[in-house]
Amino acid sequence: MIRTSGLVKKYGNFTAVDNLDLNIPAGEIYGFLGPNGAGKTSTILMILGIVRPTAGEIFLFEEKYTPDRLDMRNKIGVVPEKHPQGVWSWMTAFEYLQMFADLFDLKRVYKNSQERIDYLLQQVDLHSVRNKRIAEFSRGMLQKLSIIRALLHDPDILFLDEPISGLDPMGIKQIRDLILAENREGRTIFISSHLLSEMEKLCHRVAIIYNGRLLAEDNMSSLLARLIKDREILIDLESLPPDLVGSIKELPFVLDTTTRDNTLVIKVSKKGDFRKDISAYLIKKDLVPLRIEEKALSLEEAFVTITNENIDMFTEIGGRE
């Protein structure tokens, strides 16, 4: 659905995007992650045809894309980081959406554009303020309105730049549910965001870009598995006998053991699941585990590892693969 080949963007002597290859199939929620200045915005602007690449090619819907392909642009919805206020502030929310419904000639798709607008407003809890002027909207309300505007014409691809920025927890859940619902309908969704905990919940695959280069691209479980050096198992006990830490360390699969209050923290190799063995060992010592839990690496931890601590190592590993 979205493919780039050797994509490059230079601003003078500065390379914002460096030989970027992306391949995003239809129906995927794709997370595009990176620190400020990594090249995310430049990449999105090139894919949208707003900025011309210095080199490389862009393909949408399996066809080469250029800014003059209006037939393709009609199949794309965009939620920019900046919200819909500006010159539209004097309009009500409904007037604003109706204007875009007319621009997209929504009657071609829906018999009643007002029903489509009302339906989307209800999905994000804005129907009660449909006649309120945009100038009176909060940042979160503007963000919801922007997402509705992008979905009005039923696009095949939806680009979201920081879609939940400025939203309260309820608003985040509403947008998350809406994104998932739209994806279930078959929509391909490309998300750029700094809120990594939400990306972990939403995305089928993620890409991490740094200094314009793609460092990692994979589904969530595979990406995290590649970065895990060892596994950390947390075990809660009613009490910790003084000799337990030393005896646990003698087990052949244990790399290290520490304690936190009445919790054993045991590091083992990532190549095996040793929770059953540890549990059996504790029971033999008449100790009943109250909780056994493996600490999972989060997307945020993976992001920090790749972009700050192990960039050279990860690039080298990727090259060998």
pLDDT of residue 314: 43
Structural domain includes residue 314: no
Does 289 lie in the same domain as 149?
A: no
Structural domain includes residue 46: yes
CATH of the domain at 91: 3.40.50.300
Does 145 lie in the same domain as 63?
A: yes
pLDDT of residue 87: 72
Does 195 lie in the same domain as 155?
A: yes
Cα gap 83→137, rounded to integer Å = 10
Distances (CA, A) of 108 to 113, 150, 187: 10, 17, 19
Does 129 lie in the same domain as 45?
A: yes
Does 113 lie in the same domain as 129?
A: yes
pLDDT of residue 151: 92
CATH of the domain at 258: 3.30.70.100
Cα gap 304→293, rounded to integer Å = 23
Does 274 lie in the same domain as 260?
A: yes
| Strand order across the beta sheet in which 63-64 lies | 14-24, 2-11, 55-60, 63-64
Residue 187, amino acid: R
| Strand order across the beta sheet in which 230-236 lies | 254-260, 263-269, 230-236, 291-295
pLDDT of residue 128: 95
Q: What is the chain's pLDDT, residue by residue, as a tens digit (321 residues)?
A: 899 999 999 999 999 999 999 999 999 999 998 877 888 889 999 999 889 999 999 999 989 987 777 788 889 999 987 776 667 888 999 999 999 999 888 877 777 788 889 999 998 899 999 999 999 998 888 888 999 999 998 899 999 988 887 788 888 888 888 899 999 999 999 998 777 777 888 899 999 888 899 988 888 777 776 666 677 888 898 888 888 888 888 888 888 888 888 888 888 877 777 888 888 888 888 888 888 887 766 666 666 666 655 445 444 444 444
pLDDT of residue 104: 86
270 burial (CB, 10 Å; 0-12 / 13-18 / 19+) is middle
Does 203 lie in the same domain as 289?
A: no
Does 283 lie in the same domain as 206?
A: no
Residue 49, amino acid: G
Structural domain includes residue 303: no
Find, among 99, 64, 71, the residue nearest to 156 by Cα.
71
Structural domain includes residue 156: yes
Structural domain includes residue 66: yes
Does 220 lie in the same domain as 233?
A: no
Interhelix angle 113-123/139-151, nearest 10 degrees: 140
Structural domain includes residue 319: no
> Which residues pair with residue 205 across a beta bridge?
30, 219
Does 257 lie in the same domain as 187?
A: no
- Number of domains, the chain: 2
Does 283 lie in the same domain as 190?
A: no
Does 247 lie in the same domain as 210?
A: no
End position of a domain, from candidates 224, 257, 282: 224
Determine the structural domain holding residue 200 and report its residue range. Answer: 2-224
